[in-house]
Amino acid sequence: MLSNSLMLGFRFLAWLNGLGILLVLACSAGIIEVSLDPGWLRMPLAGFLAGLSLVALGLLWVYPVQTSLLSQLAAGRPRRSHWLPLACVLIAYTLSLLAFVFSSWMTQGMLAF
C-alpha cells in the first residue's frame, strides 16, 4: 500500500515536471510563439530539470523503504528502520513539487510580458 502511493507520487511529479520541460522547450524552439528571447527560459528549464532530478532521487529512496518493510514483515516484528528513507522520499518529493511551482510561476511571469 505504501509503496504504491509512493510510486503514484513519483508518476504524478514526473509528469508535471516533464510537461513543464516540454512547454519550455516548445517555447524556446518556436513551436509556441512567444515574444521572448529563448535565453530567458533557461531558469525555468533548470527548475523543471531539478524537479525531475529530485523525483528520480525520491524514487531511489522508495526501494530501501520497501525492502525495510518487507524484512519487517518476514521477521514478524515491526521496527522503525523505514522512517529515515521514507523521510528522504517525502523531502525529495516535496522539493520537487516546490521546484515545479517555482518554475511554473517563473515561466508564467516571463511569458506574460
Residue-wise pLDDT for 27-77, tens only, equals: 998 899 888 888 889 999 999 999 999 999 999 998 888 888 888 888 888
Contact of 13 with 97, CB cutoff 8 Å: yes
The fraction of the chain above a pLDDT of 90, given in percent, is 54
pTM confidence score: 0.86
Phi/psi for 79 (5° steps) reads -130, 175
Q: What is the pLDDT of residue 7?
A: 82
Task: Name residues whose C-beta falls within 8 Å of residue 39's C-beta, 6 or more positions apart in sequence.
Answer: none
The fraction of the chain above a pLDDT of 70, given in percent, is 97
Burial 40-63 (b: 16+ CB within 10 A, else e): bbeebbebbbbbbebbebbbebbe
- pLDDT-derived band at 1 (thresholds 50, 70, 90) equals low
